[in-house]
Structures are given as structure tokens and as C-alpha cells.
Structure 1
Amino acid sequence: MQALHDRPPPDELDREKGVICSRLGEDADTLHPSDSISNRNTRGDAKVREVRCLDLRIELKKKDAYYELPYSYATSRKWIILTVIFLIQTSMNLNTSLYSNGLAGISEEFGISLQTARWGAAIFLITYAFGCELWAPWSEEFGRKKVLQASLFLVNIWAIPVALAPNFATVLVGRALGGLSCAGGSVTLGMIADMYEPATQQVAVSFIVLSSVGGSVLGPIIGGFVETYLDWRWCIWIQLIFGGFVQVLHLLCVPETRCTILLDRIAKRCRESGVAPNLYGPNELRPVLQSLSWKVLMRTWGRPFHMFLTEPIVLALSLLSGFSDALIFMQIQSFVLVYNQWGFSKVQIGLAFIPIGLGYLIAWLSFLPAFKRNQRARDLKPRSEHAQYESRLWWLLWTAPCLPIGLIIFAWTCSGPPIHWFGTMVGSAIIGIANYSIYMATIDYMICAYGPYSASATGGNGWARDFLAGVLTVPATPFVSNIGGKRHLEIANTILFAISLLLVAAVYLTYIYGPTLRKKSPYAQHLAKNATQDESGHSRPPSRISDQEEMRL
């Protein structure tokens, strides 16, 4: 399988030589820095491509090797990579949720309260929120594969002291380090940006978003069986086994996708083979230590938080997305209180999360025709800002209300017998539809609205989801149980319903006033001044590939 190795076989190298030669010219090695290189396109479309020379060294750019980069991978190869990414993202999110099924065992073995034991879940989510941002710059410089392998390795390593922990302090330290080690969507969604142009990546993004939210409910579904039949430490061992499996799968089946790294390799092969002795990749001309100065790193790490606090669109949509995700983790803690009223076993309580998963699946399938509708709208009105940007939120106008609807249904069917438990399942499924839809649509909108800044915009979104989920995990149970009175479950969920109404309103305000909000945004304004867009609204041709930052979950 070609994806099992990064160095192409001899026949592919010969083909590569021909492609590079046709783009750079037969006498690329004799070029003077002031020369421009004419590319006589063999496909019958003659175009002029210019290659910048630095100190007699030619820089190989994306437009010159477009058909050798992941953008041009076969569809089947792309979906093999996407499937592995799906499993990796599921594994990372499984780490955040499966731990909760070990709370009783941890509490009993270490002599702590259940509330104290919940800090193991909270600290992982909180550090995970920051870990995703910390890993991102390194994948740009050293490549996706190396960084993701390092992340998976460290996450797996830090699971071992947790599984063997002699005390709860060891559990907390291991969980904190494990969260910081998670690269998460800063790398996995970045790989999508490596393989797809912005105009064609919606289906791929939706698939990976499904794994991100799906891993959160897979934990309690599996955990019910683990909690019933195994020791609490198996909640950690299962994470480690799955994490080790996806790491090996990634090592064997996924090639490097970061374009700058691949350009370096192509240029090096061309020099070694004599095709272009003075051809160099972008990283070869810009030393890593120079590009990764402390100032650059701080600016890169700080931009998602700066945009989260200063960009109205990012703040509103990130809070909506974060609250929706935090709700799932709060429900993980509160489902025990709800379903104990019907005498559910631990296994049955775990299976009660299946409706949320079904909601995710329904929402994912519903987005597929919505993508086609959105593409038609962009094609018909290429000069309309609303068609190019806000139209991506159209389907969310219909699905976002599922959040308050699902919450109010769950709130007033969770009081126990004589009301049947089926009503709570319906409410949970509707909440699942909303949670997926909110995450998918907000990510898609930010990618389009912020272009080269989409990494930071979606980074703020992902940070809000993980951070809010972590912060609200610990007070979730006291919030429900301490309200008091016979209707404490109903009242608690009704409060969540009221909050969700305010947040869902942000979707409609963004849809209506999005152009106005973007004009008040310094980042969006900077993008509008520098952006060039095809009149057709289709994917840009190779000669106009942007250096888009990667997206983050």
C-alpha cells in the first residue's frame, strides 16, 4: 500500500521528476535569482509560474508540486486516512469520558468522596483544552505524523501510572499530563486542511466532528459494562489498549500530510537525483529555530484566546458550542441520579447514552444534503457575502432549537415513575442532534469567515468546548442534587433550558447580522482586504493555493 511509506518507489520517482521538470524547466539548476520560470503545462493549459530564488536556491512552492501533494490523493486513499483520524479522535475523547465509570472504585479504594474523584475527569478536560493549542505550532514545523505519534505515545504512557496508581494524587498527576499530551483536533483537523481545499472539505470535516462528539458517549456505553464486571482500573487499561491500537494503525497506514514537509522531501529527492540541484523546500530555506522564536510561539499560542475574547462571532459561537458540549459531560454525571429512579443497573445507565449517539448520527446524515444546498447557493451568488458565509449556518437555524427542545423534554420526563423513561431518551436524542449540529456548523462557518485565521478561530471554539466541559464536570452533580425539593431534577434541567435559549439566539443574530459583525472584526477585515476569490465560488486552482492554517477541534 502506498500509504504505508513516505518514500515513493522508483517508477513514482521517475514520474515525479517529469512533473517537477515540466514545472521548473529543464535548466532549473542554471537559474539566476532574477529569472522567472515558465511552466508549459502538459495538460494543454499554458500558465506562467514564478519560483522565488534565494541566494541561488529555488524555493519549491505548493503551486509547483500541487499534483504530488495530498490535495491530489485518490479518494480511496483520503478516506483511509480519514478513517484512521476518526479512530484517533474517538480514542482521545474516550479518555475524557470513560474515566467517570471508575469513580465509585476510585472513591472506595482511596477513601475519598465521589465529588473529589470527579476531579480526575475535570483536570483531564481542562488540560486537554490547553494541550491542543500547545501542540499546534509543532505540527506545522515538524510534520503531522511525528507530532501526532509523539502525542499518542505520551497519552498512552501517562495512562500507565494512572492504571497502577497507589494513591489519588498519582491519578490526578497522570490525568493532567495525559490531557496536556493530547494534540486533539489541532493536528487531526489540520490533516483535513492538508488534503482538501476549503471549498471541498465540508464532508470530511463533518466526519471527523462525528468522531469528536461520538467518543464522549462511547465512554459511558462501554463503561457501564466495565463498572459492573471489572475493577475500576480497567477503565484506564481499556483506554490504553485502544490508544495503543490507533497509534500503531496511524504509524502503519497514514503518511505525512503536512505540505511544507512534503515539499522539503520532494526538493531533496530532486537534488539527489540531479533533476534540480538548487531546489529547496520551504523549511530548508527557513530554519526551524528561526521560525519558532519565542515571540512567534507566544503569538501563535495566544491568538486563539485573543480571538475568543475580542471577536464577537468567535465568542458567541464558541460559547454556544462549549455549553452544548459541556452539557453532555454534565449529563454523564447526572444520568445516575435520573435513571436510578427507574431502578436501572449500571449497564442500563450506560446504554441510556445510545440515544445521544443516534442523535449524532442523524445530525451527521442530515448535513450531507445541506452541504449540497450550500454549494448551490455559493455557485449561484458568488459575489454575495451572505451566500458565501452565512449560508453555511442555514441548516443550524433548524437544528439549533433542538437544544432547548431536547432539554425541556428531558427536564419534565426525568422525574421517575409513573412517567416512562422513554421520554428522557427522546429528549437525549434531540439534544444529540443539536450538539453535533452546533459544533459542525460553527466550525464550518469559522473556517470560511476567518480563512487564514481559521486555525485560531476554531481553536477558540475547541478550547471553549473542552474547558467548559472540564469546569462544569465537578459541579454538575451538586447543581442537580442541591437545588432541593421534590422537583429538583426538573428545575435543574429547566435552568439549563433557559440558558440554552439565550445561546441559541446567537445563531440567528449571527445569521442576520454576520456581515455587520465581520466589518467590526479586525481579523475578518484584514482578510477581506487581502482575500481573492473565484467568481464561481469553486475550489481555487493550484496556482492560487493559500497557506491556510490548520483547523482545530
Structure 2
Amino acid sequence: MADSNADMTEKSNAQMRQQSAISSRGQQQELNEKTDAQVRQQSAASNLGERRKLEEENCYESTAFAFDNWKKWLILTAVFYCQISMNFNAAIYANGVPGMAEDFGETENTIRLGQMAFLLAYAFGCELWAPWSEELGRFWVLQASLFLVNIFQLPCMFATNFSTVLAARILGGLSSAGGSVTLGIVADMFEPMDQQYAVLYISYASCAGSVIAPIAGGFVEAYLSWQWVFYLQLILGVVAQTAHYFVVPETRSSVMLDKTARRRRKAGIAQKPGSEPSDMTLFGPNEFKGNFLERTDFKECRDLMWRPYHFLLTEPIVAFLSLLSGFSDALIFTGLNSFGMVLTLWGFGAVPTAKIFFSSLLLGYTLGAVFFIPFFRRNTKAIERGNGQLSAIKPEARLLPLLFTSVLLPLGLLGFGFSALGPPLVPHWIIPQVFIVLIGIANLAIYVATIDYMVAAYGAYCASATGGNGFCRDFLAGIAALYVNPLYSNIMPGTKWQLVIPTLILCLPAILLVIPVFIFWQWGEWFRKRSKFAESIAKEREEKKPARDEAVIKSRDVSRMVTVTDVPHTAMDSVSHGLNSELDEWDSRS
């Protein structure tokens, strides 16, 4: 019996020793695996540095630049609609002024403060949203903007006094991201050498929204209550936000690269196939600078938000071209009130006035957009001849279309002014429409060409440069709501010159503001060389060009790139050919 107990005890001890050995080996193996992982990570960190920054040139295929062309233009179409909605909000308010004045017991001039307040707040709102879109990404910033604008339509719709409308309009204007973000999306997806058509597309939407609004608003003013002005804004806004949510992905490169770096670090730690130990030390551009609080200190936010105004005050190119752009846009908002006064000379009411005048403006915008196509094709060919180098054409070449179209602004004002003499001196109402078309061509051309030139001249700083442009357009358009009625009502009232002299007065600043276009065309390079921003961008482009070109070539099949030779022949080809032959003498300047 004793021997049996001894055998059992010995077997039990043997099993315990075996289990202990197995457990010890398992712990040792686990420890070895952890140690190996730490060694690999430490080795990568020691060989490649503690943190490596993922640049666009190193991961070009993960940025919006590498999107297929069809995807880029689908995104742009959704953004196009968003831009129309934003500008629609600014312009249609004028059609609700008479109804609100009657219901609230206020004068029409007082009610027009709502339009001025929205546009002035819009001017500052664009600059407030832009830096955050560069830090947090375009998608959620634009979603937040569209959502807030839609929310602030509700107090206006159910307002019982003007103070409520005014407060909601100010908040709605501040909530509007506008062109600072939509043009940023263009810059996210297109290289400077091939972004001209995209800039034209979004710029056309910005201008078109301001004239579609009074066309629709004319019907609202004639047949519906003033609340429908805000109902329409909300309907368009909800559709725009929905389209943006489902169609437009994130396009900001730094945010996309942050996501790529996080994915590669996760794959590296998990030792997934295709990953490298070095991936564990890889960080995106924003991550590399630290967490959100570290990146968004007060000084950096202050500098980012002040930069557009700094450009506007210290850069002659930005200052003068932005003033021209702002003045031309202010004329459109001046026309929201003055155009109707002129057509009453021929007996037209609110709806025909809206349809006739603003359809003429829309025609002018369309003709202006078509006018740019031969110039864009010419620039594309020049870049192709220069082996794809953006430096193959000077930035001043982007101003060439403006030499022909900017003069149409004072000419259109001059003709429109004298046509306001009305019958019998001006026999037909079509005559003022011709001059409105000229003003429309000039307005679109000024916006597109100045934006295009600033993007080419200021590169990475273009958001600040174009931000100054957008600020002037919204700010001066807002100021127009204050002076338009006194201007057209108090100068020689009751005489045939009442509607003529105010327009001729506006013609004088138009002439003065057009002059800098010709100065910058001739001596723009001189101004750029004396700008620390433009000069630093030129040097940076030269330094990064080899790596950038290699990244672009690797990311896309060059044979599938859409160039001027890929575009089907249309009726415009003959126009393009004829105009290009006339422009050959300018080649040496470009």
C-alpha cells in the first residue's frame, strides 16, 4: 500500500514538473516574441529616426491628386451646387424686402440691412472657416458650415420682427464657408498646371448663384409671401448638404496622409503582409506636428486668420486685383435694385425685370466662360511643350484674357448709363440688355483670371491670396446695399438724368481699377520678385519639382491624361483656332 502511494505521489510530481516546464516555455516564448517586436521597432526607430513624416511626394497615390478624372469632376459638380446655394442665399434676400417692410412696419432701407449684414458677415466667415478646413479637413468643415446655414434659415422663416431676421442673417453669413473652402477643394485635387477648367467651373457657379436667385426671387416677390425667400434657401441648402455628404470625400492632403500613416502603423504593428517595420515610425503631416491642441495654439491660429488681410494690405497684386474683383461683384448687387428702375421706363414689372435683366447677366457669364477656353488650351499646349513644367508660362500669362475683357466693365457701365435715358431717345429695351451682357462677361472674367493668377503666383499661399479676393467681393457687395437706393433716388430726382448720372459715377472707379490689370501684365514679375511669399514659392517649386514629377508619373497612366488633343472637335474648335492664331504674337511674353 505504501509503495502504491509513493508511485502516485511520484507521478503527480512528474506531471506538475511537466506542466511547469510547459508554462515556463510558453511564457519564455511570449517574452521572446515581445522582445523581438520591441527590437524590430527599436531597430527601425534607430535606423530611420524616432518619427518620420509622410509627404505628398512619398505617397502621392493616397492623395486627392490621384483621383480619376471622372471622380474629380463628380466631386466638383456637387461642390458646384453647394457654391450656387451659398450665393443664392446672399442674393435672393432682396426680393423679400417689400413684404418684410410691410409686415414688420419698417422702411425698405432698414430691411435691406439684412442683406448688407449677411454679406459683411459672409466676408469674414469665409476667412474664419478657411484655416480650419486646412487643419481639420474640408469635409467636416463644409458639412458644419452647410448645416449651420440651414439652421439659421429657421428663425428667418418664422420671425415676427426684423431684429430676429437681422440676427439670424448675421449668424448665417458667419457660418458660410464660401469660396475659401470650395476653391481649396479644387487645389486639393488638381495640380497648378491643370486646374484652370476646375477654377472656371467653380467660379461660374459663384457668379451664377447670384443671378439665379433674383430670377427665382422675382416670382416669389410677385406671387408668394416673403417667407418663401427663406423656404427656397432652406430647400436648396438641404439638397446641397445631402449631395455633399454622399458625393464629396475628404480631399485635404494632410488629413488623407494622416489616415494613411495610421493605417500603415497599425499594419506594421500587427505584422500584416506587405508591411515594414519602418511603418511603425511613420506619421502624417498633422500628426508629425503633435496632437490637435499642440497644433492649434493661439499664435498659429492668429497668424493663419490674419494672413489673408496681411496679403490684402501688403501685396500690391492681391490688393489691386481684389479691389477690381470686389467692385465688379458689387455692381451685380447694385443691379438687384437699379436694374428694375431702368426697365420700368418701358413699363415692365417685377417678374419680367428679373427674367430679362438677370437672364442677360447669366448669358454674359456663359459667354465669358466660353471665352476662356482658347486661352486655357493655349496655356496647356505651352506647358506640354515645356515638358510639363508650370514655369513654361509665366503667371502673368493668366491675365491675358483679362486684357480683352476687363475694359468691358467701364464700357458696359457707360452704355447702360446712357441707355437709362429711356424712350424715345433709347427706342428699345434690348439696348440696355446688350450692355448688361458686357458687364456679365467682365465680372466673370475678372473673378476667374484674378483667382487663376493668384494661384499661379502664390502657390501654397494661394488660399490667403484668394481669400483676400473673396473678402473684397463679399464686403463691397454688402456695402452696395447701403448706397444703391440713395444713389439712384437722390441725384437729380424727377429728371431724365436720375438713372443716368449714378451709373456714370460708377463708371469712374471702374476705369481706374482696370488700369492695374495692364500694369501687372507688363511688370507683374517685378512685383513678384519683391514679394517674400511669391519668391519663396518659386524657389520651393524648383526644389521639389523632380520628386513631385516622379510621384505624378507613378500615380497615373500618362497616356490616359486628358489633354487638349483628347477633347472632341466642336464648334468651339474653330473659334479656338482663330483666336489662337491672333494671339501668336503674344507668345514671347508668355
Give the percent of matched residue pairs that are identical in Structure 1 and Structure 2. 46
Residue 405 of structure 1 is matched in structure 2 by 411
What is the rounded CA distance, in whole Å, between the counterparts of 2:545 and 2:59 in structure 1? 25
- Tell me: CA distance 1:477–1:540, structure 2 relative to 1, closer, same or farther (3 Å): farther
- What is the CA–CA distance in structure 2 between the aligned matches of 1:362 and 1:183, rounded to whole Å? 28
The match for 1:310 among 314, 323, 332 is: 314
The question of whether the paired residues in 2 share the 8 Å contact of 1:103 and 1:118 is answered with yes
Name 2:497's counterpart in structure 1: 487
Point out 4+ residue stretches in structure 1 off by more than 4 angstroms. 27-31, 378-386, 533-536
SS of the aligned residue for 1:410 comes to: helix
Is 1:377–1:391's contact at 8 Å kept on the other side of the alignment? Answer: no
Match of 2:468 among 460, 466, 478: 460
Aligned to 2:558: none
Asked which structure has the greater CA Rg, the reply is 2
Match for residue 68 of structure 2? 74
Shift of 1:498: 2.0
- Counterparts of 1:348-359 in structure 2, within 5 Å, are 348-351=352-355, 352-359=357-364
Structure 2 segments unaligned to the other structure (5+ residues): 1-38, 555-590
Amino acid aligned to 1:361:
T
Partners of 2:318 and 2:262 lie apart in 1 by 41
Q: Which amino acid counterpart does residue 271 of structure 1 have in structure 2?
A: R
TM-score between both structures, scaled by the size of structure 1: 0.86
RMSD between aligned residues: 2.3
2:576 is aligned to none
Report the residue type matching 1:411 in the other structure: G
Which of 345, 368, 372 matches 1:367?
372
* 1:391 is the counterpart of 2:397: yes
Q: Distance in 2 between matches of 1:177 and 1:200?
A: 36
> Which of 250, 255, 261 does residue 261 from structure 1 map onto?
255
Is 2:526 aligned against 1:505?
no
- After TM superposition, list the pairs within 5 Å mapping 1:172-321 onto structure 2: 172-273=166-267, 274=270, 275=275, 276-285=279-288, 286-321=290-325
* Residues 416 and 436, structure 2, Cα contact 8 Å, conserved in 1: yes
Q: Is the 8 A contact 1:66 1:542 kept in 2?
A: yes
Aligned residue number for residue 472 of structure 1? 480
Paired residues of 1:200 and 1:539 also in contact (CA < 8 A): no
- Going by fraction, where is helix more abundant, 1 or 2? 2
Check the 8 A contact 2:193/2:383 in 1, yes or no. Answer: no
Among 515, 536, 539, the alignment partner of 1:526 is 536
Counterparts of 1:386 and 1:321, CA distance in 2? 27
**Whole-angstrom CA distance in 2 between matches of 1:318 and 1:533:** 30
| Aligned pair partner of 1:333 in 337, 340, 344 | 337
Corresponding residue SS for 1:125: helix
CA contact (8 A) 1:134 1:301 kept: yes
Q: Is the 1:197–1:540 Cα contact (8 Å) retained in structure 2?
A: no
Report SS of the residue matched to 1:416. coil
Equivalent residue, structure 2, for 1:156? 150
1: distance between equivalents of 2:293 and 2:469?
29
**What TM-score, normalized to structure 2?**
0.81
Aligned to 2:14: none
Q: 1:293 to 1:405 in 2, by over 3 A?
A: same
Taking the aligned partners of 1:85 and 1:154, their CA distance within structure 2 comes to 17
The one-letter amino acid of 1:320's match is L
**Structure 1, unaligned stretches of length 5 or more?**
1-26, 37-52, 546-553
AA at the equivalent of 1:284: E
Q: For residue 380 of structure 2, give the secondary structure of its aligned residue in structure 1.
A: helix
> Once the 2 structures are TM-superposed, how far is the Cα of residue 28 of structure 1 from its aligned partner?
9.3
Aligned 1:6-45 pairs, distance under 5 A: 32-33=44-45, 35=47
Alignment partners' CA distance in 1, 2:335 and 2:477: 11
> Contact (CA 8 Å) 1:129, 1:467: kept in 2 or not?
yes
**Shift in CA distance, 29/262, structure 1 to aligned 2, threshold 3 Å:** farther
Q: Which moved more, 1:235-244 or 1:449-458?
A: 449-458
The answer to whether the 8 Å contact 1:198/1:539 transfers is no
CA contact (8 A) 1:192 1:204 kept: yes
Q: Deviations over 1:30-70 (max 9, x none)?
A: 7534646xxxxxxxxxxxxxxxx4x2x43322222211221
CA deviation after TM superposition for structure 1 residue 375, in Å: 3.0
